[in-house]
Structure 1
């Protein structure tokens, strides 16, 4: 029988992810602002960066949701198997 504990992220891992996100977003924004480009080129890079950030959030959510679904399906299958084993137990006294 398995335990139903979910793995938890440490606070250091969460802080590292948040800091990395802020630094990369700031670096991209500063790079776009200081590149010797026309306004429309800066706008294109800014919109591309914004689309990249939002699509990364969406992808992360989809991957998390699929993993949670697989975990739930696995637990349901395990419970069904345990029920079948309990019903077919040949050592059970009648």
Structure 2
């Protein structure tokens, strides 16, 4: 259970870091990227647990290391896709209102 808690803490920290670094962070909420990072990490953790990776003696560390590593690109891709689309949609709405 301790590896799962550490996995969640790292995924949340990665999500908050991605939010803090993103220049378009005002387009979405502060909890969106940590939520995406946690969801990706927990989903992969469940898949690895179901595959029995945690019971393998030589590679049991991968069951918590891989989900931590997956949370990084998940948060960045979420920031890139959602931030870009929401900024574009906000700009179009403002242009329609002012024009």
Higher Cα radius of gyration: 1
Q: TM-score range by the shorter chain?
A: 0.3 to 0.5
Determine which structure has greater relative contact order: mean sequence separation of CA pairs < 8 Å that are 6+ residues apart, divided by chain length.
Answer: 2
TM-score (norm 2): 0.42
